Amino acid sequence: GAGVSQSPSNKVTEKGKDVELRCDPISGHTALYWYRQRLGQGLEFLIYFQGNSAPDKSGLPSDRFSAERTGESVSTLTIQRTQQEDSAVYLCASSLEIYTDTQYFGPGTRLTVL
Amino acid sequence: DQQVKQNSPSLSVQEGRISILNCDYTNSMFDYFLWYKKYPAEGPTFLISISSIKDKNEDGRFTVFLNKSAKHLSLHIVPSQPGDSAVYFCAAENNAGGTSYGKLTFGQGTILTVHP
């Protein structure tokens, strides 16, 4: 079956511009997670959704970052006024339920801020 | 504050031999540990996990060992195959009391290369 998909796969933008990253989770998965991986570092947890709700947004790096999920399906991660330190691979994962269920990752979106 | 550390950025092993990937953690509240494998241009895929009530979990060629007193876990791959060449991430979670929401804390990853 279809796995987690993310678009675009690559995004190059200029400093100060806004970007939107999209995640399509596996159908029926109630939990959705966003991570980012900066060069040479591990995956950094950003935010999770249970259904369409994001109970804990404390992992978002700054108020320039926001995320939403609709229809318990697609999620978008928006970064406003991008900075060079936002350059990273942004990974989305989904799982059937919120707890210790296996998280299935998408291929990621590589964001480069010039 | 790096709560999960993989101190070896890379490991090179001959086909057929054992690969041992190590991971250390500092947060004593972590009680569930996972290993993920990542190929280039793909997302990480789940490999094997272990709960803190166990000290070993085995799945085919993959075995994870947990030493809680040392806050250390390791992944053994025996025998190693060229197709195992990938980046391996360990991850940890605090699932005590069912309060976890799946937040995983990842290490930096170790690049494993298995030579034919």
- By three-state DSSP, how is residue B69 classified? coil
Cβ distance B43 to A100 less than 8 Å, yes or no, reads: no
| Confidence tier at B23 by pLDDT (50, 70, 90) | very high
Residue A102 confidence (pLDDT): 83
Q: Are A105 and A92 in contact (CB under 8 A)?
A: yes
pLDDT value, residue A39: 87
pLDDT at B24 over 90: yes
CA distance B93 to B100: 7
Nearby residues of B77 by Cβ (< 8 Å), 6 or more positions away = B18, B19, B21, B61, B62, B84, B112
Prior bond of A55 cis (ω within 30°): no
CA-based end-to-end distance of chain A: 37
Q: Which CATH architecture fits A5-103?
A: Sandwich (2.60)
Say if CB A48 and CB A25 are below 8 A apart: no
B60 Cβ contact list (under 8 Å, min separation 6)? none
| Position A110 pLDDT exceeds 90 | yes
Query: Which pLDDT value is given to residue B94?
Result: 84
Domain segments of chain B: what residues?
Answer: 4-115
Confidence of residue A2 (pLDDT cuts 50, 70, 90): confident
3-class SS string, chain A: CCCCEEECCEEEECCCCCEEEEEECCCCCCEEEEEEECCCCCEEEEEEEECCECCCCCCCCCCCEEEEECCCCCEEEEECCCCHHHCEEEEEEEECCCCCCCCEECCCEEEEEC
In chain A, what percentage of residues exceed pLDDT 90? 76
* B19 pLDDT tier (thresholds 50, 70, 90): very high
Among candidates B4, B32, B106 on the partner chain, residue whose Cβ is nearest the Cβ of A100: B32
The two three-digit tokens of residue A82, written as one number: 């991008």
User: Under CATH, which architecture does the B4-115 domain have?
Assistant: Sandwich (2.60)
Q: Which residues in chain B are closer than 8 Å to A93, comparing Cβ atoms? A: 43
Are B43 and A98 a contacting pair at CB < 8 A?
Answer: no
Q: Which residues of B touch A55 (CB under 8 A)?
A: 101
pLDDT digits (tens, 9 = 90+) for B66-116: 999 999 999 999 999 999 999 999 999 887 655 556 788 999 999 999 999
Residue B97 sits at the chain A interface (C-beta within 8 Å): no
SS3 label, residue B97? helix
pLDDT tens-digit series, residues A58-80: 889 999 999 999 998 999 999 99
Over 80: is that where the pLDDT of B10 sits?
yes
Ranges of each domain in chain A: 5-103
Amino acid A99: pLDDT: 65
Tokens of B41: 């241009």
